Amino acid sequence: MSLVLYDVVDGIARITLQNPPVNGLGFAVRKGIVEALDQAQGDAAVAAIVLTGNERAFSGGADITEFGTPKSGWQPTLRTVIEVLEQVSKPVVAAIDGVCLGGGLELALGAHFRVAAAQAKVGLPEVNLGLLPGGGGTQRLPRVLGLETALDMIVTGSIVKASTLADTPLFDRVVETSVVEAATEFAKELVRQSTPLKRIRDLNVTQPDAQAFLQVARKNIAAASKHQPAPRLCLEAVAGSASLPFDQGLANERKLFLQLMNSPESLALRHVFAAERAATKIPDVPADTPLRDIHKVGVIGAGTMGGGISMNFLNAGIPVMLLEAEQAALDRGVGTIRRNYENSMKRGRLTQEQLDERMALLSTTLRYEDLVDVDLVIEAVFEELGVKEKVFKALDAVVKPGAILASNTSTLNVDAIAALTKRPEDVIGLHFFSPANVMKLLEIVRGAKTAKDVLATSIALAKKINKKPVVSGVCDGFIGNRMLNSYRAASEELLLGGASPESIDKALEAFGFAMGPYRMGDLAGLDIGWAIRKRRQTENPDADFSAVADRLCETGRYGQKAGAGWYRYETGNRTPIVDPAVDKIIEDYRAEKGITTRTYTDREIVERCVYALVNEGAKILEEGIALRASDIDVVYLSGYGFPLHRGGPMHYAQQIGLFNVVRSMRGFAAQSDKAAEFWQPARLLQCAEPGQALK
C-alpha cells in the first residue's frame, strides 16, 4: 500500500498521507511527498496543491522509530522535503486536521498557506523527547506567532487547538467543516485571484527588545531545566530566528538538533516514550480483545485513597457511586473531593461549571445493594485481608455478573482476594498511588485467574483516566514497592555504615531524584512504615531492618507533620534542618551494634541505592512479575520520582553497562557477610552478554 496518495480533481492536486497510526514522516512518506510534489509541479493541468492527512492526524511528526537507524537510509530528509515544498511554484495549501505535531507542523509551515480544522491540535513537542524542532520549526514558528509565543510553545512542548491560533498568520483559515473541502476551495480561490505565494522564510520576527526578552528567558529556562539540555538549546535555536538570516538560523538549528539527538537525555526520553506505549501491550492478550463497557464505577472507602480514585473517574466524565460504612466518613470524603476541586478552581485549572458537572456525577451510599448496576468497583479499604474479605464477599453477593471487582491493595495477594469470590476471573488489582488523583502510575495486578478481557479493559480504562498503566504479576509489593524495599535497605546500609541522612539525600538529589529517601520519608510520615514493620516483625522477629527509623518513631519523630523526623522542621516551614538529636540516635545504634563507620562518596551512595533497584528489578523480571525491563522503568519513573532524564533504573543500568553494575555489586557484597546476600547479583544481570539489552 502506498503511504502517500496522489490524485488530481479540477486542476487541484491532492497529496494525502496515509501512514497509520499517526502519519509519522518516515522514509517512505518523505520520498512519497517529494515524488508527488515533483509530479504536481511538472503537470501543466495542476494549478495548485492540497497536502493533507486524515481526521486523526495531519502528521504526528518525524517517525520516532527511525531515530538511531543508519543515516544512509534517511534521504530525502525532512528538511529536504520542506525545502522542496516551499520552492514549488504553484500554491501549496496544507489542510490540517487531527494532530499536527513536531515535524508534521514543520511540514505545514513549509506550505504557502494553511487551512485547519478548529479542533486540530498543533505543537512542537520535540522537547519532550529531549530534542528541538529540527525541520525549521524554530525559525518559522517565531515568524508567524512572534518570538514570545513561539518560544513558549517550543520550550514547553505545549499542544494547542487550532481555534486558539485562528487570528494569527499561522492559519489562513480555521474551519468547522471538512478541512479538505475548505482547503480545496481556498486553493481554487488563490488560483483565480493569482494570489502571490507566501513563504514564511521571507517574514521577519517581530519582538520589541528581542535580546532583552531572550536574556530573561535564558535565565528562567536554565533555572527550570537543570538536568535537561533540550529546553536551553530550544531557546538558543529560537534566538537565532531573531538575530540571524533565515538560512543561518536553519544551520544553527541543525547543529543544536544533532547535539541533542546524540545526548543521553534524549536517548532516555525516547526510551520512555516507547516504554509507556509498550507497557499497554500484553503478549497473550490480543489488541482486538473485546472490552467490557464501563459506564459507572463503584468505589469502596471514602478516605484519601478512595476519594482520589473517585476523582479520576469524575474527571473523565464517568459516574461514581462512593460507599462508606458510616455517614460521617462519607460526608468527610465528599467534602475533601469538593475542596480539592475548589482548590483547582482557585488556581484557574477548573471552572465553576466543570466543578458542578463533576460533583453531579458523584453519588454516595452506605448500602452495598446500591452497587448493583456498577460496571467496575474498586475497594480502597484498610489493608488487611480480613477487612478485604468482608468487602469482597459483600460485593460478590450484590454486584451484577460481568462487573470487574478490583482491589487497590499495595501488598496483599490478589489471588487470595480473588478466591474470596465466586468469580475470580473478574477480580484484578488496580493499585493507585497517593495522591491518586495526581500520580500517573497505575499498577494493574493480574491474578492467576484474571480474565483477559478484564485485563484489556483495565488497561484501556487507565488510558481514559489519564494514567500510565503497567501490568504486574502477584508478589509482595508488586513491582514498585518491592523495589522500594530494596532501595530503602541499601540506604539503611549506608546510614549504618557511616553516611548521614542528609549526605544520602544530597547525593540522590544531585543524581536527579526530586527527594532523597529521608526527606521523602519525612514528607510521607514515618509512622506508616513503622506500623508495617511492627506487623512484619511479629511474623519474623529477626527482622531488624530500619531499626533506626523505629527509634525515631519511638520518640514521636513521625516526620514533617510532627515537626521532626529524620530532620527537624520549624513551624509552618517544610525546609529540613539537620538535627544533632538524629545523629545521636544513629551513633548510639551503631555503637550498640559495634559498627565501624567509614565515609562514602556521592558516587558510591548513588551506585548502592540505584543498583539495589536494578537488582530487584532484574529479579522481578526473572520471576515474570514484570513483562519487560521497560515496564519497570515506567513504574519507577511515574510512581517513584526516578529522574526522567535517566530513563528509569533498568535503562540507566544498561547505559552504565551491566558488567560494570555487577562488578560494583560484587564489591559491595565483599564488604560483609550480611551484605553478601543482599548484593548477590540477579542471574539475569550476570548472564547478559555485553551490549545485550535487558528484555
Shortest approach of ligand 3H9 to residue 430 CB, angstroms?
20
Residue span binding ligand 3H9 (CB under 6 A) among the ranges 18-26, 148-156, 182-190, 392-400: 18-26
**Residue whose CB is less far from ligand 3H9, 466 or 597:** 466
DSSP state of 561: G
Kindly identify the residues of this chain, within the stretch 132-151, that bind ligand 3H9 according to CB under 6 A.
Answer: 133-135, 137
**Interface with ligand 3H9 (CB under 6 A), residue from 62, 256, 403, 564:** 62
Pairing of strands 173-175, 12-17: unpaired
Shortest approach of ligand 3H9 to residue 119 CB, angstroms?
14
CB atoms within 10 A of CB 277: 12
Shortest approach of ligand 3H9 to residue 164 CB, angstroms?
17
**Residue whose CB is less far from ligand 3H9, 65 or 434:** 65
99 is a contact residue toward ligand 3H9 (CB under 6 A): yes
- Whole-number CA gyration radius for the chain: 29
**Residue whose CB is less far from ligand 3H9, 123 or 643:** 123
**Interface with ligand 3H9 (CB under 6 A), residue from 61, 301, 477, 681:** 61
Pairing of strands 4-9, 12-17: antiparallel
- 367-392 core/surface letters (b: 16 or more CB in 10 A; e: else): ebeebeebbbbbbbbebeeeebeebb
**Interface with ligand 3H9 (CB under 6 A), residue from 32, 53, 60, 469:** 60
- Nine-digit cell string for 679: 548484593
DSSP percent split of the chain into helix, strand, coil, nearest 5:
55, 10, 35
**Residue whose CB is less far from ligand 3H9, 411 or 466:** 466
> Considering 86, 106, 185, 265, which one is annotated as catalytic?
106
**Residue whose CB is less far from ligand 3H9, 254 or 332:** 254
**Residue whose CB is less far from ligand 3H9, 102 or 639:** 102
125 is a contact residue toward ligand 3H9 (CB under 6 A): yes
**Interface with ligand 3H9 (CB under 6 A), residue from 28, 55, 65, 693:** 65
| Residue given cell 520535540 in the structure block | 126
Amino acid 486 reads: S
22 is a contact residue toward ligand 3H9 (CB under 6 A): yes
State the DSSP H helix or E strand holding residue 69, giving kind and residue range, or none if neither: none
Shortest approach of ligand 3H9 to residue 281 CB, angstroms?
7
Residue span binding ligand 3H9 (CB under 6 A) among the ranges 7-15, 85-93, 126-134, 503-511: 126-134
Shortest approach of ligand 3H9 to residue 67 CB, angstroms?
8
129 is a contact residue toward ligand 3H9 (CB under 6 A): yes
Opening angle at CA 196, ends 191 and 200, nearest 5:
120
Shortest approach of ligand 3H9 to residue 629 CB, angstroms?
17
The SS3 assignment for 101 reads strand
Site string for ligand 3H9, 245-284 (x = CB under 6 A): --------------------------------x-------
Q: What CA–CA distance (Å, rounded) separates 51 from 7? A: 11
24 is a contact residue toward ligand 3H9 (CB under 6 A): yes
**Residue whose CB is less far from ligand 3H9, 62 or 380:** 62
What is the total count of residues that contact ligand 3H9 (CB under 6 A)? Answer: 24
Orientation angle between helical segments 27-42 and 78-87, nearest 10 degrees: 20
Shortest approach of ligand 3H9 to residue 565 CB, angstroms?
40
Cα distances (angstroms) measured from residue 27 to each of 23, 157, 286, 297: 12, 24, 29, 45
Helix H, strand E, coil C: the string for 161-227 is EHHHHCCCCCCCEEECCCHHHHHHHHHHHHHHCCCCCCCHHHCCCCCCCHHHHHHHHHHHHHHHCCC
Opening angle at CA 97, ends 96 and 101, nearest 5:
75
Helix H, strand E, coil C: the string for 253-276 is HHHHHHHHHCCHHHHHHHHHHHHH
> Considering 86, 126, 185, 236, which one is annotated as catalytic?
126
Pairing of strands 441-445, 427-432: antiparallel
**Interface with ligand 3H9 (CB under 6 A), residue from 13, 95, 101, 428:** 101
Shortest approach of ligand 3H9 to residue 125 CB, angstroms?
4
Q: Is 106 a catalytic residue?
A: yes
Backbone angles phi, psi at 335, to 5 degrees: -60, -40
The runs of H, that is alpha helices, within 323-475 are 327-346, 352-360, 385-398, 414-418, 452-464
Return residues touching ligand 3H9 (CB under 6 A).
Answer: 21-22, 24, 60-65, 78, 99, 101-103, 106, 125-126, 129, 131, 133-135, 137, 277
Residues with active-site annotation: 106, 126
